[in-house]
């Protein structure tokens, strides 16, 4: 995100914003090697190399972790070139440079972790750790147990066989069913494609559980910080030592 140069310098802990203005005016700040002496310029510190007295800025932001109940209609990205709503619009008070850990489709709702901890993100998303994700799918028609067994055994998709899923019918109504499915892979639109492969159209999809965390107490569109115990458990699951 582009921000005023003096704000970026302050965020790096070099000086207050006022003092940072002084550094800029004194010609002590460079952006991509060019001395900048104007105060109005906006830059993105992830795109530009910003130096004070020749030394590159470094950012040691506090790590933050949130559990969001994503509604439909929000993209799971930090920003969108076409200006569409992203999940970060739901956390306006969070000042750290956070991003979603993994993705939910625009029309999927439910549990999404938001953090600025890249190490944890890499660990949790790595296929090696087989992190469980549970979804509730509302599907058209009522699939038979025999049909659902195909998902339990693993089903062929265009990008290969899926790992066996845990599948349970929660409810049936006239012409649709609510089916809970737990998978540990994270392929693009995987659950929708798995149901499509058994001839079931997914009418609504919600992630209700991720790595043991649930949506309990978090209303749609709201979020809460993770507890220290939850963060420690995620580190454990992701196979990384917490620093």
Q: Which residues bind ligand URA (CB under 6 A)?
A: 104-105, 108, 189-192, 205
How is residue 71 written in tokens?
């509604």
Compare residues 57 and 125 and give the one whose CB is closer to ligand URA.
125
C-alpha torsion angle, residues 167, 179, 129, 224 (rounded to 10): -150
Contact 74, 87 (CB under 8 A): yes
| C-alpha triplet 26, 31, 32: angle, nearest 5° | 140
Minimum distance from CB of 179 to ligand URA (Å)? 13
C-alpha 105/C-alpha 128 separation (Å) is 23
Q: What residues contact residue 47 under an 8 Å CB cut-off, 6+ apart?
A: none
Q: Please identify every residue annotated as catalytic.
A: 105
Contact 209, 104 (CB under 8 A): no
Minimum distance from CB of 61 to ligand URA (Å)? 28
Compare residues 41 and 164 and give the one whose CB is closer to ligand URA.
164
Compare residues 14 and 88 and give the one whose CB is closer to ligand URA.
88
Pairing of β 202-210 and β 133-140: antiparallel
| Cα–Cα distance list, 60 to 116, 151, 190, 196, 228 (Å) | 11, 44, 36, 45, 19
* N-term to C-term CA, the chain: 27
Compare residues 105 and 230 and give the one whose CB is closer to ligand URA.
105
Q: What residues contact residue 68 under an 8 Å CB cut-off, 6+ apart?
A: 87, 90, 91, 100, 111, 112, 113, 114, 218, 222, 223
Compare residues 147 and 182 and give the one whose CB is closer to ligand URA.
182
Minimum distance from CB of 232 to ligand URA (Å)? 26
Minimum distance from CB of 108 to ligand URA (Å)? 3
Minimum distance from CB of 34 to ligand URA (Å)? 43
């Amino acid at each position: 995100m582009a921000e005023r140069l003096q704000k970026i310098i302050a965020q790096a802990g070099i000086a207050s914003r006022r003092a940072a203005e002084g550094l800029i005016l004194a010609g002590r700040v460079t952006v991509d090697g060019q001395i900048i002496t104007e105060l109005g310029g906006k830059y993105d510190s992830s795109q530009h190399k910003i130096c004070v007295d020749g030394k590159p800025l470094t950012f040691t932001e506090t790590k933050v972790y949130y559990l969001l109940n994503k509604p439909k209609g929000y993209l799971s990205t930090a920003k969108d070139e076409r200006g569409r709503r992203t999940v970060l619009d739901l956390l306006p008070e969070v000042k750290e440079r956070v991003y979603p850990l993994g993705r939910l489709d625009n029309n999927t709702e439910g549990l999404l972790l938001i953090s600025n901890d890249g190490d944890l993100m890499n660990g949790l998303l790595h296929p090696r750790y087989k992190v469980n994700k549970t979804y509730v799918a509302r599907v058209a028609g009522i699939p038979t147990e025999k049909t659902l067994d195909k998902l339990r055994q693993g089903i062929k998709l265009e990008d290969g066989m899926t790992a066996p899923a845990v599948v349970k019918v929660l409810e049936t109504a006239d012409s649709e069913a609510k089916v809970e499915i737990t998978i540990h892979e994270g392929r693009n639109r995987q659950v929708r494609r798995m149901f499509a492969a058994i001839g079931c159209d997914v009418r609504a999809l919600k992630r209700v559980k991720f790595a043991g965390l649930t949506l309990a107490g978090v209303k749609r569109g709201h979020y809460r910080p993770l507890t220290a115990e939850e963060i420690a458990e995620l580190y454990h699951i992701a196979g990384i030592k917490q620093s």
